[in-house]
Amino acid sequence: MALVGKERVLARIDRALAYIEARMAAE
């Protein structure tokens, strides 16, 4: 259970970083 939660958090952080990177690249 804990492992699944950790993986979901990591995936969320990865998406957030990709989103920020895309916005910075757009500017």
Domain segments of the chain: what residues?
1-26
Pairwise CA distance, residues 13 & 6, whole Å: 11
Q: Using one digit for the tens of pLDDT, what is the confidence trace for 1-27?
A: 567 889 999 999 999 999 999 999 998
What pLDDT is stored for residue 22 in this prediction? 96
Question: What amino acid is encoded at 5 in this protein?
Answer: G
What pLDDT is stored for residue 1 in this prediction? 58
**The CA-based dihedral angle spanning residues 11, 4, 2, 19, taken in that order and rounded to the nearest 10 degrees:** 10
